[in-house]
Structure 1
Amino acid sequence: MDPNVIVAAVAAAVSTGALAGLTESAKLAVADAYTTFKSVLARKYPGIDVAMVEAKPDSTARQDVLEAELIEAGVSEDVELQRAAEHVLHVVHRYAPEAPELVGVKLARVSAGELEISRIRSTGGAIGVDARDVQVVGRFTITDVEVKGPANHPL
């Protein structure tokens, strides 16, 4: 698992919680998925703290530190943590499909074989990678994308 998935899950969950216009059930669904994710992370990797990214989810410097800690902890083979992070992103996409655009990366129907997405940074309302109906057989790599737009979102 790419540690960026975890970083994206943290940033997306926090950003979604700050969006105006979400129903209470949507906020609760995102909060529940995120709480489950954090429980798995805390149980398996007690030394990793996501609070710095929670405080500033769009800070690439803080995301970089979290990613380095995740790599150092060896989370890339942790299927349980991957599922929890992917569930957060799924719930965010379901209840607030515009939220991932604030963070970057938006995939629709992915049928992989291999897929690697790297350091995506997106600010404002900008989109960093929107993949739609992707089918990958073999290696598919998007590396260091950085998109900046006007900071006019409600965060």
Structure 2
Amino acid sequence: MSLIVAAVVAGATAGLKEQAQSAVRDAYGALKQLITGRHKVDVTPVERRPESAAKQQSLEEDLADAGAAEDAEVLEAAQRVVTAVQEHDAAAARAVGVDLDDVAAQLIRISNVSVRGNATGVELSRVEAQGSIVIEGIRVEEGDNPARP
């Protein structure tokens, strides 16, 4: 669930900027369509205030209630947003970290995370996967700015 919320925050932060790369806007638009269309969850409060922990927590609860964490297509779309932000918007990518806490899912796949500075690429706690957890392509480098894959 945290991956989906992080992707919405990243998409709202990067994808809605006028100068955002079309790859970020397109990836975020696809994720938003799945969340709002298929699961009937409103992401507007997070879009208005992506830095708000309360809005993020509320979205996480709504997504959990709607069963979005079990939707493989939503999880794939969320990963595409995170990847697009990392590739095209370094400033927003700084805010994106993969931090999964208290998650249960069929499959968890995290790939191509690249961070720089005093950062953590992936942090997991109380995570359970019915199938498998795949983590690959994690890169942490020294410095102040996020690395670009």
Q: Does 1:86 align with 2:65?
A: no
Which structure features the higher share of strand residues? 2
Q: 1:96 to 1:88 in 2, by over 3 A?
A: same
Q: Does 1:59 align with 2:52?
A: yes
**1:93 partner letter:** Q
Contact 1:101 1:128 in 2 (8 A): no
TM-score between the two structures when normalised by the length of structure 2:
0.64
Residue by residue over 1:118-144, the C-alpha shift from the partner in whole angstroms, topping out at 9 and shown as x without a partner, is 39xxxxxxx88522xx7xxxxx7347x
Correspondent of 1:50 among 35, 40, 43: 43
Question: How far has the Cα of 1:65 moved from its partner?
Answer: 0.4
Q: Does 1:30 align with 2:24?
A: yes
Residue by residue over 1:37-95, the C-alpha shift from the partner in whole angstroms, topping out at 9 and shown as x without a partner, is 1112223112x100000000000000000001111112221100001111011100011
- How far apart are the structure 2 equivalents of 1:100 and 1:52? 20
Correspondent of 2:35 among 33, 38, 41: 41
RMSD over equivalenced CA pairs, Å:
2.7
Contact 2:12 2:50 in 1 (8 A): yes
1:104-143 matched pairs, under 5 angstroms: 104-105=96-97, 117-118=100-101, 129-131=119-121, 141-142=124-125
- How far apart are the structure 1 equivalents of 2:80 and 2:50? 18
Aligned residues with identical type, % of pairs: 32
Q: Does 1:95 align with 2:93?
A: no
Q: Which runs of 5+ in 2 are unaligned?
A: 103-116, 127-149
* Partner-residue secondary structure (3-state), 1:117: strand
* Partner-residue secondary structure (3-state), 2:6: helix
Contact 1:15 1:99 in 2 (8 A): yes
Contact 2:10 2:92 in 1 (8 A): yes
* Partner-residue secondary structure (3-state), 2:90: coil
- How far apart are the structure 1 equivalents of 2:25 and 2:42? 17
Question: How far has the Cα of 1:117 moved from its partner?
Answer: 1.6
- Equivalent residue for 1:6? 4
Correspondent of 1:16 among 14, 17, 20: 14
Contact 2:27 2:81 in 1 (8 A): yes
